[in-house]
A and B are shown apart, each in its own frame.
Chain A
Amino acid sequence: LKAVILIGGPQKGTRFRPLSFEVPKPLFPVAGVPMVQHHIEACAKVPGMKEILLMGFYQPHEALSRFLLSAQQEFKIPIRYLQEYAALGTGGGIYHFRDQILSGGAEAFFVLNADVCSEFPLQEMLEFWQGHRDAQSFVILGTTANRTQALNYGCIVANSDTQEVQHYVEKPSTFVSEIINCGIYLFTPAIFQHIGEVFQRNQQELVLEESSNGWQRAEVIRLEQDVFTALAGSGKLYVYKTDGFWSQIKSAGSAIYASRLYLNQYSKSHPERLAQNKPGGPVIRGNVYIHPTASINSTAVLGPNVSIGEGVTVGAGVRVRESIVLHGASLHDHTCVLNTIVGWDSTIGRWARVEGTPSDPNPNDPYAKIDSETLFRDGRLTPSITILGCSVTIPAEVVILNSIVLPHKELSRSYKNQIIL
């Protein structure tokens, strides 16, 4: 049994800028721990998991190598990075590396998108698949969305008794189904035969017509549009529906929402990661993660949904809520940080107020998902999470509201609803 985690590359994940300038998006900390570590942990827990492969088109990167090394040591399972020579799409990469994936006689393998936040019911998916015991059956993890938001995802129509996928369409313009694709799959080696057919077809098309997009290659294969759509109705594709928490992590705002979901999970899975109220310590409300090397004044009030990174200093009388504070940042006395991501090594001066607008899904709708926000609407910046890039300096006594500040910027006054380059 193996797992492949698709981590993309620099051309992907651009909605995550400016945070993705410093660190590859899959390594961005969510609930105190790199995004993709949650995936690795879930995979390592599945009995029989032999190897985890990270696949993407990032160049060899010091942070990535360091992370892989420490993850291998912590989870005691081989973890390798397979670098695609170009962006090959969600299907092209695994097809290219099919020999590596199947080496050692893998009976089945998971494929997970790195930019999702999930409970990862991998064991349950495996048991569901074993119920079929069919080398030709593949499983997609699905969840329920509301009618309007389902259009933003891959939509799955399934037989209610057998869960066989009868129809699949990616981001339709009209309503098809409320069951959406979570970006987590369980395949057998037989999948490569189907991907291979798409590959052949692409090659033939390239010969037949001049491709207007010169960069279009035969090897670029999208699992969703090219493979699932064709497999639907053929008796080979099944959906395993989950009600567990799930969210995409596309924008910085969704990182804060995903943090909240994982921090909630910690009360069962990693209670040691949640900060507790202690005499002489800061006031903790709700779920808060504090790195052991952070230094927090006892009069600060943190939470709910706060992650404090390595070496962060939080001064007297500071209030932090629904925010992520990244490594090395410094919050001076009496500051107020709400709905914000504070970049690595940034400084926030005394009495400053740094505030964003949350983009949470409607709490009254159990199937609501976080909106894939566009940055601008009608020429105005939509109120959203405030993001401070790396090494940003905010002076004392100003207010920064609904703004995005690019790295290494030293502000001199207040800003509202702006992108500061």
Chain B
Amino acid sequence: AGPLALARDLLAEGEEPFFVLNSDVICEFPFAALARFHRQHGGEGSLVVTRVEEPAKYGVVVIEPDTGRICRFVEKPRVFVSNKINAGLYIFSPGILKRIQLRPTSIEKEIFPAMAQEGQLYAMELQGFWMDIGQPKDFLTGMCMYLQALRAQHPEKLHSGPGVVGNVLVDPSAKIGANCVIGPNVTIGAGVVVEDGVRIKRCTVLQGARIRSHSWLESCIVGWSCSVGQWVR
């Protein structure tokens, strides 16, 4: 949170609330709804929570049911307390900057608990999918969720054709060879070349990579400009 103090002048200027986002999170980003929610309750800050199946793996948020005001945070609870966790999307009024000093600061550990005690922090529940994509394997899970949401909202953006199975996103500049079977859950970046006879499942292939013929890829992240040889598994 310390860096927010660095931007103090820029943020305080308009007297308007500002969003703060953790970049390693993927979801359907309800910015309009969040802004509305924040103005309605008039508190200093709002954060988005999402429902999870195993809350003990995370820090959970205890919320007053009618108002949405946050009572407290509990880190990795041993007994069930709540199934809502902090989704890493916030909106704050400029007044919060008075709480933040220019030093390394954890907003979750140092700023939020104080705000919650003062009744200044509110929670809005997220609709739709959410994933912390900080780890590569979670990145792929998040990618699958994203593609599934895309199928529901903008199916025309997904790739279709011979050899395409399930949800597949392909950059227009990518080239895919003959007799390939791509998908489900594959994203293919700009300038990628996939040669003949390749099978790709649940992967992200980043820009400029080349997958040579007859290879088989599952649950992989192929980095920028990588080359994967023939008959590779």
Contacts and interface: CB of A to CB of B under 8 A. Distances in A.
Interface of A: 299, 316-319, 333-334, 336, 350-351, 353, 397, 399
Contact size class for B?
10 to 19
A317 B199 contact: no
B233 A353 contact: yes
B233 A336 contact: yes
14 contacts: A317-B179, A317-B197, A317-B213, A319-B214, A319-B230, A334-B197, A334-B214, A334-B216, A336-B214, A351-B216, A353-B216, A353-B231, A397-B216, A399-B233
B114 to A, nearest CB: 53
B230 A333 contact: no
B233 A316 contact: no
B196 interface: yes
A299 B231 CA distance: 13
A336 B179 contact: no
A333 B233 CA distance: 14
Given A317-B197, A317-B214, A351-B216, A333 B231 contact: no
Q: Which 7 A-B pairs have the closest CB atoms?
A: A317-B214, A317-B197, A334-B214, A336-B231, A319-B231, A351-B216, A334-B197
A353 B218 CA distance: 13
A402 to B, nearest CB: 14
Contact of B199 (A318, A334, A399): A334
A366 to B, nearest CB: 32
Interface in B173-232: 179, 196-197, 199, 213-214, 216, 218, 230-231
A407 to B, nearest CB: 26
Contacts of B214: 317-319, 334, 336, 351
Give the residue among A316, A317, A399 with the most B Cβ atoms within 10 A.
A317
Nearest to A399: B233
A356 B179 CA distance: 27
A112 B216 CA distance: 47
Contacts of B199: 334, 350-351, 397
A333 B197 contact: yes
A350 B216 CA distance: 10
A333 B216 contact: no
Contacts of B196: 299, 317
Contacts of A336: 214, 231, 233
Given A299-B196, A334-B197, 4 more contacts: A319-B231, A333-B197, A353-B233, A397-B199
A333 B215 CA distance: 11
A240 B199 CA distance: 56
Given A334-B197, A336-B231, A336-B233, A316 B216 contact: no
B60 to A, nearest CB: 38
Contacts of A299: 196-197
A49 B41 CA distance: 107
Most buried by A among B179, B216, B218: B216
